[in-house]
Amino acid sequence: MNRWITLAALVAALVLAVGTTWAAEGAAPAAKKINVVLITGGHGFNEPEFKKVFEGYDDITATRSDQKVGGEIFEDISNWSYDVMVLYNFNQKITPKQQENFLKLMDKGVGLLVLHHANGAYNNWPEFWKIAGVTYHFAPYEENGVKKERSGYKGNVKLKIHVADPNHPITQGLTDYDFVDETYCRTTIDPANHVLLTTEEPSSDKIIGWTKTYRQSNVCYLQSGHDQVAYQNPIFRTEVSRAIRWVAKRLPEAGRAGPARAARTVYAAPAKKPNVVVVTGGHDYEHKPFMAVFEANSAITFTHVATKDGEIFEDTTNFPYDVILLYNFGQKISEKRQKNFLALLDKGVGLVVMHHAIAAYPNWPGWAKLIGARYYLSDVEEDGVKHARSQYKHGVDIKVHVEDAPHPITQGVSDFAIHDETYKGYTVDPKVKMLMTTEEPLNNKSIAWVAPHDKTHVCYIQLGHDSKAYATKEFQKLTAQAIAWAAAK
């Protein structure tokens, strides 16, 4: 069996008899981790990308157990150590003895999460219908004298998913979203299931996510999860991590809502409060109301540092911060300080750039590349192209459109209006991932984005000129979520 072991899980891995440990990096919390066994087999999948779904959490550790026939893991449960079973297998056999042991685990309250094609995990076990609340039909059948077709599927479908129960711990705070995945149709779904997610997509059954209880266990089924497109979707990761906690009967903790980081596009709620340095200088601002935004954020600790020319990066030997939030403007930065800054990012320190910090270091050519945009403080010619000085205007009512609602920074934020300063005439790297835009004629279309970086998270949010902007609930939410996302390692 392949072994995927993070450094933090090395000691634990040495005592495992079978499987592969996928565990969070960093110091383990005092509370016992949820010990998850991921049961695979009978269906191909992208292992490297799928394993990332279970990485990055401080409270979850996952072990993969690949089944050749179907129920080998349930042959002997005398030393069973798992709190949760995640089924990701398909069309396998399970013996009567293994079935009996499976049910004994559920009598003990072991949680069960059934993912995607595992709606057809055990085709020879009628009881599985009662357990999972679904039957995948592998062949045509007859029901009450009516002939029925076998279940069907369709790949690479863009479907709109409706959150039917936004108050459940698994879906709390989520809004309707788009998703690209494989769909299933003509499965039989228990009407007694508690419905979480639905869709009107014609190629799919309407109900695609639910919970139930069976014997002493909590059970959840999520139809999503066919390939790396789904694996990398932050909403899928959020739902999976929350489902694991729910079936494990662990109450959700404050600030623990996010998916694990993978491909540096999504984040996990960190094991400790992020230590943030808020850097100002070179531009007037309303100090008390701006600092109040960070004081109100109980999920972080922060330090304010006012600089003239990047002094904070002069010696970064013992740099204590997880996130750098820049709110400075028009400052010089030496080559040494540039190199130290970049070295911090290469180590995984996150970067949030806000408002006028788009022009933080005009003497540093690499700054524009790093943040994905260049603001012109004067008329310039660049690569034979003339650029007029960028423009700004105070006190404009700006209508903001959320382009990427599922992203962790914008998750839960709907289109909104804000009284703020506009910027126009700056250039944006086409490689950035746009989060928010506006049709305001005094502003660039772009308002916020994620800039590409190989080793950390970098984002820019244009909003945030004065106390009127600071007081906007959307500004506060975006700032808090940008910090949380940037802090993910």
Instruction: Go through the domains of the chain in sequence order and give each one's CATH number.
Output: 7-247 (3.40.50.880), 275-487 (3.40.50.880)
Handedness of CA 26, 31, 32, 35 (dihedral sign): negative
Structure tokens at 58: 């401080």
Please state the length of the chain. 489
- DSSP secondary structure, 68-120, as one string: SSS-GGGS--TT---SEEEEEE-SB---HHHHHHHHHHHHTT-EEEEEGGGGG
Angle between helices 473-487 and 287-295 (to 10 degrees): 60
Structure tokens at 257: 């809502």
Q: What are phi and psi of 447, to 5 degrees?
A: -130, -35
Q: What is the pLDDT of residues 351-384, one digit of tens each?
A: 999 999 999 999 998 999 999 999 988 898 877 8
Q: What is the pLDDT of residues 176-204, one digit of tens each?
A: 999 999 999 999 999 999 999 999 999 99
Structure tokens at 460: 């820019």
Q: What is the pLDDT of residues 88-106, one digit of tens each?
A: 999 999 999 999 999 999 9
Q: Which residues of the chain have pLDDT under 70?
A: 1-31, 251-272, 489
Contact between 122 and 128 under an 8 Å Cβ cutoff? The reply is: yes
How far is 403 from 266, CA to CA, in rounded Å? 16
Residue type, 165: D
Paired residues of 211 in beta bridges: 194, 220
Paired residues of 23 in beta bridges: 61
Closest CA to 92 of 84, 83, 81, 102: 102
What is the number of alpha carbons within 13 Å of residue 360 lying toward its C-beta?
Answer: 29
Contact between 353 and 360 under an 8 Å Cβ cutoff? The reply is: yes
Residue type, 210: W
Using CA atoms, how far residue 427 sits from 299, 300, 374, 423, in Å, is: 34, 32, 5, 11
E strand or H helix that includes residue 214:
strand 207-214
Helix, coil or strand: residue 195 = strand
Structure tokens at 167: 């108050």
Residue-level pLDDT at 228: 87
Paired residues of 210 in beta bridges: 195, 221
